[in-house]
Amino acid sequence: MGVAGSFPSFAGRPPGPVMGRDEADRTLARLGAEHEAIETSLLALEEHAGRRLLEGATLSGVTKERWGPTKRSITLLWQYFDTYAGTLASAREIRARRRYPGRSDLVALTDLLRGDGVTVANQGVAGPGSSLTGPARLSERFTLEELVARMNELYAQALDMVLASDSVWSALPARIDLLAAELRRTGSLAHSVGVRPGEHPAGDDLESIAEELTALRAQVISDPLAFWVPGPGSAAPGGGRPDTTRYDRAARALEEVRREIEAVLAVRQDAEQRLIQVRDLLSRANRTLAEARLARGEVLAKIAASEVPAVSGPPTVLQERLATASAYRRHAQWNRLSPLLESLEREAEDELLRARESLTSVTEPLAVRAELRGRLDAYRAKVVRHGLAEDPLLIERYDAARRMLWSAPCDLRVAGQAVLRYQRAATDQLTQRRPGGHDGQGETS
């Protein structure tokens, strides 16, 4: 139910000249409308859901401290209203005596409607020794205008608290309940994949979030004003917003856990295929290392004066971890399998890369010998094309280089020099033949 705004302000003037009949009638009509507006606002406040919740709740903290004085303010508001209504009834009674009121009636009306003779007894609603409006007195005197202003002030204070509390109660508990329901769904899913408190960090996080939501909801219910942020520069009752900082933090934490659970679920769905891929990577790495070991033996037998790096054995630690990962899959321990499988994939790829680098490093001398052989044969073919196959110098140097490259062990340094000598001799011979024009189609490089 909505609550009306501030009460209408009294529009009369301080006591002065005696009011005429028409002026008195107009004032009474205005006060009657004012009376109805005030009564409507007070009844709306009385029936407001926020006020009823405040009445029935077990309050604490800031809300408890403010609700006591606010309840007394509401009680005092009704007392003021009863006095206001009584004064209005008295004025109406005087006016109803005669169709044309005499001077004594008009003087009495003037005094009631403009004077400060409206007396409110102090019934001690604000506690012993004090009142909501100042030091304790047996009674207080007001003009009707002052009385309405006082009611406006008390009404705005009471309405502000009721609206603020109701806004927090309307916003936060429902959102907390929805988040708690999402937490339960996530917790059930987490349990199905082995994510439990004490066994996985995400399980501990879920338990922590549950405790936070339980505590948060209890605090919101008992102390809503602790979660209220007044609006900047707003004097209107209820101006502000609920403080959702703790709720938002819990929601973000749950979202992070949910993503982690989804990652674990993804592991469950494709774990077998990923394990097969890891096995394949490790198998290829083992075969490459075996090839490197064979190649190293060949290099040591066929190449002289060359540093050949050692070749490591198969990655037994990775094989053991792979066996552990397979056991996790068989026992549906997806929460443990997820991080282990990710690290295995990275390390298996690294292992295959290291095996390939080892093979390349070991076979480098053979590659150098193959390159020298290829270069020697290429120049021999060029010499033959140009008709220099029978040249004694070229035959001698070719035979020397070929014996070095096709004998074991091969000294790559000496063989390289022999190939270079043959290459230079062939180049010299081809250069000398070019001016004669015997073979214009020949290549010189």
pLDDT in tens, 7-55: 554 444 445 687 777 887 788 888 888 888 888 888 988 888 888 989 8
Q: Which residue has the higher pLDDT, 210 or 238?
A: 210
- Are 8 and 145 spatial neighbours (Cβ–Cβ below 8 Å)? no
Confidence (pLDDT) at 88: 83
- List pLDDT tens digits, range 385-401: 888 878 888 888 888 88
- In tens, the pLDDT along 166-217 reads 999 999 999 999 999 999 999 988 887 777 788 778 889 999 999 999 999 9
How would residue 1 be classed by pLDDT, with cut points 50, 70 and 90? Answer: very low
With bands split at pLDDT 50, 70 and 90, how would you rate the model's confidence at 444?
Answer: very low
Q: What CA–CA distance (Å, rounded) separates 218 from 230?
A: 22
Q: Is the per-residue pLDDT at 221 higher than 90?
A: yes
Reported as type and span, the H/E element at residue 230 is: strand 228-230
Q: pLDDT per residue over 62-77, tens digit each? A: 999 999 999 998 988 8
**pLDDT above 90 (res 442):** no
Global pTM reads: 0.57
Q: Name the 3-class secondary structure at 135.
A: strand
Residue 284 is predicted with a pLDDT of: 92
Which contacts qualify for 174-180: CB closer than 8 Å, 24 or more apart? 175/244, 175/247, 176/213, 176/216, 176/217, 176/220, 176/247, 177/217, 179/213, 179/247, 179/250, 179/251, 179/254, 180/210, 180/213, 180/217
With a cut of 90, say whether residue 234 has pLDDT above it. no
Q: Is the pLDDT of residue 312 over 60?
A: yes
pLDDT digits (tens, 9 = 90+) for 335-358: 788 888 889 999 999 999 999 988
3 state SS of 119: strand
Looking at residue 184, its pLDDT comes to: 94
Q: For residue 134, what pLDDT is reported?
A: 52
pLDDT digits (tens, 9 = 90+) for 119-166: 777 654 444 344 444 555 567 787 888 888 888 888 888 998 999 999
